[in-house]
Amino acid sequence: MAAPFTTDQQKKFDEEIARHLSRFPEGRKAAAILPGLHIVQDLIGWIPPEAMIQVAEKCESTPERVREVASFYVMYFLKPKGKHVIDVCTNISCSLRGAETLIRHMEEKLGIQMGETTPDQLFTLREFECLGACGNAPVCQVDSRFHMDMTLKKADQLIEDLRKQAGKKS
């Protein structure tokens, strides 16, 4: 089975998960499964089965148990995702302030539907449940960073900026 990490990534994974494992009593190391999965996703963008096996070994658990956990929580990607993930809240407070329009606008702008990834692998767009910023509705998160009081103009700017950023790097 292919190694999930490069040498550098492996070193980082080992260090970071050790820090979390030390926080829990003996015989309870499975508690580090959620942090372990976060570490994997931060390193390589998603959680391949090979990495689940590593998390299981470190956490004195089994790959089956790790997969069960990984598939329960919506923040873990079990398939490769776009470079940037845009989560738009459409729950009640955001919808009352126009989130449905915001979603349609972003779908058009990116040429994809909710839940899809752009062909250039730059964006994944998702409809998301309450993000806890209802006083600044509508809100979205890009790569887990908040963008509040969204408007059509702000949405355009956000996408343009990320496209420009990507253009510069390539």
Partner 1 sequence: MTQFSKVLTKDWFKPGSHTYAGYKANGGYEALPMALKMQPQEIIDAVKASGLRGRGGAGFPTGMKWSFVPKDSPKPKYLCINADESEPGTFKDRLILEQDPHSLMEGIAIASYALGVHTSYIYIRGEYLEQAEILEKAIAECYEAGIFGKSVLDSGWALDVYVHRGAGAYICGEETALLNSLEGKKGWPRLKPPFPAVVGLFDAPTVVNNVETINTVPTIIKMGAANYAALGTPKSGGTRLVCVSGHVNKPGVYEIPMTLSFNDLIHKQEWCGGIPGGRKVKAVIPGGSSAPVLHHSELDVAAEYEALKAKDNMAGSGAVVVMDDSTCMVRALWRISKFYAEESCGQCTPCREGTPWMERILRKIEEGQGEMKDLALLKSVVNAIAPYPPIGLGTTICALGDAAALPVHSFVDKFRAEFEQHITEKRCPFPHPFGILADEGVRK
- Count of residues binding partner 1 (CB under 8 A)? 54
User: What is the rounded CA–CA span in Å between residue 88 and residue 140?
Assistant: 4
Per CB under 8 A, 121 contacts partner 1: no
Q: Minimum Å distance from CB 170 to partner 1?
A: 26
Based on CB atoms, which residue is closest to partner 1, 11 or 23?
23
b/e map of 91-128 (b: 16 or more CB within 10 Å)? bebbbeeebeebbebbeebbebeeeebbeeebbbbbeb
The stretch near partner 1 (CB under 8 A) out of 26-34, 78-86, 114-122, 161-169 is 26-34
Per CB under 8 A, 82 contacts partner 1: no
What is the SS3 assignment for 33? helix
The stretch near partner 1 (CB under 8 A) out of 8-16, 70-78, 116-124, 161-169 is 70-78
Per CB under 8 A, 18 contacts partner 1: no
User: What is the rounded CA–CA span in Å between residue 110 and residue 24?
Assistant: 44
Q: Please report which residue ranges of the chain form alpha helices under DSSP H.
A: 7-21, 33-44, 49-58, 63-72, 92-95, 99-110, 152-169
Q: Are 51 and 86 in contact (CB under 8 A)?
A: no
Per CB under 8 A, 138 contacts partner 1: yes
The stretch near partner 1 (CB under 8 A) out of 9-17, 115-123, 131-139, 158-166 is 131-139
| Cα–Cα–Cα angle for 113, 74, 143, rounded to 5 degrees | 70
Per CB under 8 A, 142 contacts partner 1: no
Q: Which residues lie near partner 1 (CB under 8 A)? A: 23-25, 28, 30-35, 37-38, 59, 61, 65, 68-69, 72-76, 87, 90-93, 95-102, 129-138, 141, 144-146, 149-153
